[in-house]
Amino acid sequence: MRFLTAKCSGYLCFLYLILLLSSVPIKAQLAAGKVTGKLVDENTQALPFVQVSLKRSTDSTLVKTLLADDKGHFAFEPTIGKYFIEFKMMGYIETYSKVFNILAGQTELLGTIEIKLATTQLAQIHVSAVLPFVERRADKLIVNLNGLGSGAPIMEVMNQLPGVTVTPDDRISLNGKSVQIYIDGKATTFSSEALASLLKGISSSSIQKVELIAQPSARYDAAGNGAIINIIRKRNYKAGLNGNIYGGGGKGEFGKANAGINLNYKGAAYNILLNLDYNYNKYFYNNLINSTFINTGSVAIGQSVSDIQSIRTTTNYTPNLGLDLYLSKRTTLSASVKPGFQFFDREGAAHIVNTDQANLITSRSKFLSEADIRSTNLSSGLRLQHQIDTLGRDLSIDLDYYHYGNFNDQDNRTINFDLNLNPIANLPSVVAQDRVFDVYAFKADYIHPLKKGKQLEMGMKTSYVSADNSNFYSDVKSQQTDLFSYKESISALYLTYASTGKKFSYQLGLRGEYTFGEGIQQVNKEKFRRSYFQPFPSLHLDYKFTKNHSLSLGLNKRIERPSYESLNPLVRIISANNLQQGNPELQPVIAYNAELWYGYQNAFFLGVTYNYGLDDFTSISVPLANQITTTLPGNADYARYATIQAMYGKQVLPWLYTSSNLIVSRRSFKGEFNGFLLQNNGITAFSATSYNSFSLSKNLSFMVLLNYRSKSMERTITNKAYAYVTAGVRQQFLKKRASAQLNFMDIFKSYRNSYKQNSGTVQQLWRNQFETRMVKLNLSYSFGGAIKNTKKNNGAEEEKNRSGVVEN
């Protein structure tokens, strides 16, 4: 923990400064008067947590926005002037108060204001807030799910969000960029495969909204070269017991099942949340790997073909317990405990044929593997949030701990054959590969509103990570038995300044991060150590030409640190002649990003994006002895990525909602690997996604998802084109408390995952086939009354998405 203590005194001083600022009033902000009121629905019941915006009557400039309390009350303390108030809430008609005049010492009583429920209907076709509602901010899009998915896993709902693409092999992207997944403001510390399993185990019924952040501001960790998708769980039930129960099943080549329950009990002084999610999936995953070995004269000197077939089973249990204590009207203490348990089994067989330069067979072998993988994780945290005054000053403090363990036991056997297919050797091997890491983090954020729609935000964060990796082989002669340990601390400070005007808004940010890490490989006692400081500026501009037309610009600098697994040099076995390992020499990527977007009616967006990454991560294959290859990450000199994008998401007709996006992209890169200079200018690629939902009646709807991607080039990899279609139908009943949704995934079984990889001395063709065509039924039932009282979500802490443990 010496990494933390070196900075401790500075952090205490910074935190003291925050607390000092929070207690000292600024003369320019002293309120001259007060305005109060209460919000009710059409049944005269209190309507809590409505968005209430105070605006100047002269030019509609936003002065302050807050949420009404749990009894529907709101209050502002503005300076002298004329104002009106705007009231907004999902599913309700946007409402305005009368214009009123504030004088020194005066209190304006607006009394009780009724907010009416919004309902749109055409003939006998009804639509009422069941489709995504998109709210655009300067630096993100906010999508309120409103029951979308009917209890289906959130992974299946992702494709229905603007700009989000999820391939059948569970790769998620936003506007063509890789993403970090946050849950309740906290970065998930999972590999891509483990993360996919987690998201398949979380029901969309437990999700309140999803934030799509293409250009993260200085408030977020600088880690990650891509975008952020922040999934916010529901904590917005009315007083008493409320909940939702759901379940589903599916069938492809094998069966699937999911189930869960959400329970929430809200009292006057506390709120308790319990989620229980279960997911089971059995599927096949096959690989055909054709490796050609090249000498320095660019002549093929041999070839190896591996035909790998496997059947895999994953079982996930994901409970979540949360507690909010309302210590006072303005202070909330939140605690959460989120354990997770995953069980992964794999049975596979690989048939391997090696040939020489004359294409004559030199050897044949069969590799049998059984893997039993157990993953456990525990995410726990405390959060204290204090609203200092009604002007919007806010202080939050977070303390978090995260633990992850991955225990991989493999029983492998290699059978060698002679040229007449007679077995000549039987080589068993038992391997235990364990990955364990712990994350400790402390974070503080302070928001300080200034006059005329301006706001200052500052904060700090410090984290410490301990990662331990081990390989134990039953064969005592094996050179692969080893231990690798890595420790890392990251310390950060940030400051943002934002201004919101009637037409022009902007946000300036600066974040500084200091990183110190050291690793050691036990057998050969190899050590490495690195420390560096990097500043990360960001700029977001937003200009509204008219009510319908806007232009936004985003610039930032980011860093993509190597995942903990990509630094781990211990070998992982794919097959008898295909290995994988990390690279301790891997350097972080420094990325510069720029985006320019035009928006029309908050529904159509046209944008140009550019990314330039120094020391870009590139996966390469390195030849070893006896036509064995190992795949590991390396640093290229640079990579460039440019796109032109169009997105459209709108309730086009009362019975039709569409969310579609088109991306034209090109990626180029340069790097030297295995003694070869690899450089390409890329190819122009096209990708398109279109989600459409049709309301056939008041309670019946139909959806179709179309996805296409042309041939594309990414660094050393050239991907082949693919397309697929998914469709579904949704029926609501029992006064919309219950719903059933039937989905048909990849109807024509047209998805293909095939690519070529050029690593200089090794050129590989990968053909991957896995279960994509299936049918799934999801049922959902809500109880406890309609959702009325809502509590603002308090998720804030960002952990590192760098575990990188991949199950095979």
Residue 256 confidence class, pLDDT cut points 50, 70, 90: very high
* Total residue count of the chain as it appears in this document: 808
pLDDT of 93-136, one tens digit each? 778 888 888 877 778 888 889 888 764 333 333 333 334 456 66
- Domains 31-114 and 133-783 in one fold: no
pLDDT of 343-389, one tens digit each? 999 999 999 999 998 889 999 999 999 999 999 988 899 999 898 87
Buried b / exposed e over 790-807, threshold 16 CB at 10 Å, is bbebbbbbbbbbbbbbeb
Strand-pairing partners, residue 82, are 101
- The verdict on domain 133-783 having CATH code 2.40.170.20 is yes
> Which of 74-88, 134-148, 202-216 is the most confident on average?
74-88
pLDDT of 720-739, one tens digit each? 999 999 999 989 888 888 88
Question: Residue 576 to residues 213, 306, 807: CA-CA distances in angstroms?
Answer: 42, 9, 17
Architecture (CATH level 2) of domain 31-114? Sandwich (2.60)
- 160 or 734: whose pLDDT is higher? 734
Nearest to 279 by CA among 619, 783, 778: 778
Tell me, what's the pLDDT at 136? Answer: 63
- 298 or 585: whose pLDDT is higher? 585
Tell me, what's the pLDDT at 325? Answer: 92
Run of H or E residues at 7 = helix 2-23
- 392 or 317: whose pLDDT is higher? 317
What is the percentage of the chain residues whose pLDDT exceeds 70?
84
209: Cα separation from own chain's centroid = 13
Cβ-in-10-Å burial (0-12, 13-18, 19+) of 251 comes to exposed
Q: Under a CB-based contact definition with an 8 Å cutoff, are residues 681 and 638 in contact?
A: no
Tell me, what's the pLDDT at 130? Answer: 37
From the CB of residue 771, how many other CB atoms can be counted at a distance below 10 Å? 21
Q: Which two tokens stand for residue 57?
A: 């009557």
Tell me, what's the pLDDT at 372? Answer: 95
Report domain extents, the chain: 31-114, 133-783
Tell me, what's the pLDDT at 627? Answer: 77
Mean pLDDT of 43-48: 77
Question: In angstroms, rounded to a whole number, what is the distance separating the alpha carbons of residues 614 and 611?
Answer: 10
Mean pLDDT of 577-596: 90
pLDDT of 400-456, one tens digit each? 999 989 999 999 999 999 988 899 989 888 889 999 989 999 999 999 988 878 889
Strand 604-614 with 589-600, pairing: antiparallel
Mean pLDDT of 69-93: 81
Nearest to 264 by CA among 777, 793, 783: 783
